[in-house]
Structure 1
Amino acid sequence: MPLLGLSARLGVVALVAAVSGCALSGRADDGDGSTPSSTVDPAPSVLADEIGSAAPIVVAAGDIARTGNDAARATASLIQSMRPDAVLALGDNAYEDGSLGEYRNNYDPTWGRFKSITRPVPGNHDYGTGNAAGYYRYFASQIHGDEYYAWNAGRWRMYALNCEVDCGSGSEQLAWLQADLTTHPRRPALAYVHEPRFTCSTRHPPETELSAVWSALQGGRGRIMLAAHNHAYERFAKLDAQGRRDPDGLRLFVVGTGGAGLYPLKESCPNRQAAQDDEHGVLKLRLGTKRFSWKFITINDRVLDKGRGQV
């Protein structure tokens, strides 16, 4: 069910942007001013470990491709119109169990057109096939077998995390993240993972194991966290690892709207600033050197949420 009627929801989004600190600086802004293009152009042929663009366009969503899924085809067409520099597949990319056959039959005909510029993470459904073997084989050229990894997008350091394996306090993954953040102290950080630290869905609860990761990112110039898992869209205020408002906290986007059936959200949710659970779509990010902007755009070309923050 929708949390609000469309016209009401757009009004709330505009109000949030104007008075609730939609920008990291505390000032409202309308975003990057771009609109989805109706022209379909081929995606770039390859994504290097570092995107040289000063303000790369990165598109993200998770919970994507099922058999005969028209919604996944529609989100893929939407992405193609944006001509992104990189695509982030946020896990549960090929249903039901992430087998190689499901990646080839369900994911490849839709989001597979962006495979060469995709930097994915796995979800719980991807681990439905022995240690996510289908995921690692399908994306072999993109992730080289790594369970988690980092790369650069313009000025930004991008962290592809995996909490389907241990990511909590004392884990190898957390130690790796802390070390990499220390090595890149001047780069703003964006992290993405399948299960969200905060969410208000009727289906899946928040992932508390991410608290240590969240704290590490916040202590190391972390700005944005992306997740999926709950099949809806949510954006939260800047928060610390315990969910308290913090001007130096991370901003979380839950983008489980890539194609799988949508889940209803709870009407009330602390610190949530935007939400919708009735349209598929993707999050478009422009990661600049001094500012970043976001838009959540649906397959019907509706911009349901947008804003801008300072790096």
Structure 2
Amino acid sequence: MTLKISTRLSTSTLPNIRSCSRSSRAKPGAIATSTTTCSRPNAPFVTKVNPILIRALTCLVLTVLLPFKAYAKPYLVFVHGGAWVSGRASDYDELGEKLRSRGYCFKAIDYRLAPAVKHPDQVADLNRAITDLKKEKTADCDPTQIVLLGHSAGAHMIAFWASEHREASIKGFVGIEGIYDIPALVKKWPSYKDQFIQSEFGVAKNWEAASPKNRKLKTQAPWLVLHSKDDELVELEQSAGFEKSLKAQKIRVEYVQLAGATHFGVIESLKEKTSPASLSLERFLKTLKP
């Protein structure tokens, strides 16, 4: 049985976002039903109950999966992929349930999507989520022991965030099938330019500065970089190049090449406790210092 709670995100500094009501908190082990109400924007919109996904985006919602008792393991905060134009946190509820069963708190975040917004607006959404998370008071999940996980475009977001921010509460990063070098991505996959790169990053002159591989990170928190050699959407060289960048900055990094998994298959494999991806994640998390 899963406990799901929708949590308000502050919206004062984000454009085109209206206020959201906050659902009441339930105790671990209880069944929580919650709805979130958003004020109507001056544009067409679609709302859903927990989480809310709105194209013109009127509010942001965090989906929390709490263990049924307190655990001293890191707090896993997940940023989904989808080429910056698609995806939602609720798509990863099953992943959260599997990680919760292993004793972790898990939180997936929603963020605004292109083309309604552009980089770095999604990174601002991530930062707001982290800020709000640190304010939460709960004995069940420790917001001072956060590990950021990002898949594909989500890995780009957490890496770019690390080049802009330094938070003591962030103890580590996990990049999964990540995008770290945008010019190289477009060179390998030319069709991506029109499919989603231009809508997110604009013209080519912007791409180098938006690539985490080319940026100095502000935090020395360690990284686990996972990438399957059988990824059919993002080339292995993205993660290999990012590993070199981290090592050049003297940031501890463990780079694990996986085999036999597709771009989204790696996420599926994390649901299996004994998969190479899960074992790599478990080993990495055990090395993190409080």
Instruction: Establish whether TM, by shorter chain, passes 0.5.
Output: no
TM range (shorter): 0.3 to 0.5
Structure-2-length-normalised TM-score? 0.36
Name the structure with the higher strand share. Answer: 1
Task: Say which structure is richer in helix.
Answer: 2
- Compute the TM-score of the two structures, normalised by the length of structure 1: 0.34
More relative contact order in 1 or in 2 (CA 8 Å, sep 6+)?
A: 1
